[in-house]
Amino acid sequence: MNGAHDLGGKHCLGPIAPESEFSEPVFHHEWERRVFALTLATGMLGQWNIDESRFARERQHPQRYLANSYYENWLAGLEKLLDEKQMLTSDSSSRWRAASPDCAAQLLAAGSPTSRAAQRAPAFACGQRVRVRKLSMAGHTRAPAYVQGTTGVIAQFHGWHCYPDQRARGLDSAEPLYSVCFTGQSLWGPNSEASEVLIDLWEPYLERAENND
């Protein structure tokens, strides 16, 4: 989705203005603690995956997304998921059981690995030139706009991983995942400050490119 969340290379957003890491608190307000914990705890009910969660945060008016603080976007995403999954309607509560603290600790320690069994040989090999397809569409994707149409080189193959474009629709799907290396010049022109940018991209985002591309 070509939304406000896709920020790579955007201008006029101002300085970084970091707080010192020795004094910045983990949470700045009590409500941020609550939103963080509510998001993780409701996620443990297993009614959505991380890509659905990201997509719910992205699907906001761009002005709203950019004006919100980070945890306001989490809150907006959580409210949307709960509404779309109809989890707050009156007679739905008996269908789900809240995780206990022990169960939550186990789930957090286990995480959610996204690696999956290989289904066939990968289409690309390390060192091969590839171009990122133009993918403008309304759904969730993890191919940033700033790299679409640009040519790079396969730097690493990571095996098969859950494919976000399908998983954001609740579908179980995996594709080969690569780290693709782009020169700074190919992305930003001759005055690029970055020598190289490495981006993790799934096979359906990529097409073969010629060596002189």
Partner 1 sequence: MSHDHEHDHTEPPSDLELRVKALETLLLEKGLVRSDTLDAIIETYEHRVGPRNGAHVVALAWSNDEFRRALLADATAVVSELGYVGRQGEHLQVVENTAEQHNLVVCTLCSCYPWTVLGLPPVWYKSAPYRARAVSEPRSVLAEFGTHLPESTQIRVWDSTAELRYLVLPERPRGTDDWSVEQLQKLVTRNAMIGVERARMPEDLLERDP
Q: Which of residues 105-164 bind partner 1 (CB under 8 A)?
A: 105, 107-115, 142-144, 146, 158, 161-162, 164
Instruction: Using CB under 8 A, pick the residue from 62, 64, 79, 213 that binds partner 1.
Output: 79
Question: What SS3 class is residue 171?
Answer: coil
Q: Residue 40 or residue 125: which is nearer to partner 1 going by CB? A: 40
Q: Where are the alpha helices (DSSP H) in 44-195?
A: 50-58, 62-67, 70-84, 101-110, 164-167, 184-188
**8 touches partner 1 by CB under 8 A:** yes
**62 touches partner 1 by CB under 8 A:** no
Rounded to the nearest 10 degrees, the angle between the axes of helix 70-84 and helix 50-58 is 110
**54 touches partner 1 by CB under 8 A:** yes
**203 touches partner 1 by CB under 8 A:** no
Handedness of CA 200, 61, 172, 44 (dihedral sign): positive
**86 touches partner 1 by CB under 8 A:** no
The maximal CA–CA distance of the chain, rounded, in angstroms, is: 62
**104 touches partner 1 by CB under 8 A:** yes
**26 touches partner 1 by CB under 8 A:** yes
